[in-house]
Every structure is written in structure tokens, then in C-alpha cells.
Amino acid sequence: MSETTINTPAGTPFVEVTREFDATPAQLFRVVTDRDLVAQWLGPRDLDATIEEYDVRPGGKYRYIHRDDQGEYAFHGVFHTVEQDKLIIQTFEWEGAPGEVCLEKMTLESTGSGVRLHQRSVFPSVSARDQSIEYGMESGINDSMDRLAELLAKES
């Protein structure tokens, strides 16, 4: 299994995530866009996820909630560009920091032996990005990517 690479260059509002999966672009696209499957891999392992809305199309909206013993953490956004098996561009906002909207671009690229997922998030400021890192964003990304790989292995 491939490792997740998370790049958070100091002094920039960017987060880049790269991971290779043993799947085709079509298989990965299905697992990242199917509401029922998203609920199985999105977020840290120690949180329960509820997908309230997940309409993957240009102009479609999404909202999901993660829960643990200490509370709820809700996120929402809008899908702007969706190209089957290739590209998703969306906004992302944690409801705990209203107005701090990120722009995210996810590309899926065939590698010949699988598929490479590359996601770039642009935060509204360096401090907003740094705050997300402090809140545990990296461990949540790592858990999500590992869970995604596990689900793809079961779905193949």
C-alpha cells in the first residue's frame, strides 16, 4: 500500500495531498463520489460520519458531520467542476470557522499500475491553514486515505 504524502509549505496557504491506489481512475472516482461509500472512508477512524447531502455535479452541494464524545464537527461546500474519472473542484468550509472557505482541486491520474490522487487545498490565509494543521488535519487526512485504500481493496 502506498503512503500518503502531505505537503504544507511554510508561509503558504496550501496543503497538497498525494496518494497512489491499486485501482483504476473509474473505481477511485466512484468511491470518492458515491454518498454511501464516502461515509465509509471520510474522516478520522475515531469519528462517526453522517453524510447529509452529497450531490456531486457542478453546482451540487455537500454537507457532512463527524461526531465523537466531545461534539459534532460539520463541513459543507459546493462542487464547481466535475469531470468523470479525472477531476473535482469544490469549496470546503468547516462550520466551526465560518467564512474560512478553502478551494480544493482533486485530480485522478492513471499510473499504469493504479491511480494517483492529488489534491491541492488553498486556504484563505496562511493562519487559517496553520490553524487547520493545529486541529489535527494531517491525522484526519492520513486516516481518510488509509480507509479509502482499504475500501478500494474490498470494492475491487
The CATH number assigned to the domain holding 122 equals 3.30.530.20
DSSP code of residue 113: S
In this prediction, residues 20-30 reach a mean pLDDT of: 97
CB 66 within 8 A of CB 43: yes
In this prediction, residues 63-92 reach a mean pLDDT of: 97
Q: Give residue 40's pLDDT.
A: 96
Q: Give residue 136's pLDDT.
A: 87
The per-residue pLDDT for range 72-85, each reduced to its tens digit, is: 999 999 999 999 99
pLDDT greater than 80 at residue 67? yes
Q: How does the average pLDDT of the chain come out, rounded?
A: 95
Burial class of 10 by CB neighbour count within 10 A (0 to 12, 13 to 18, 19+): exposed
pLDDT greater than 70 at residue 1? no
Domain that holds residue 77: 5-155
Number of folded domains in the chain? 1
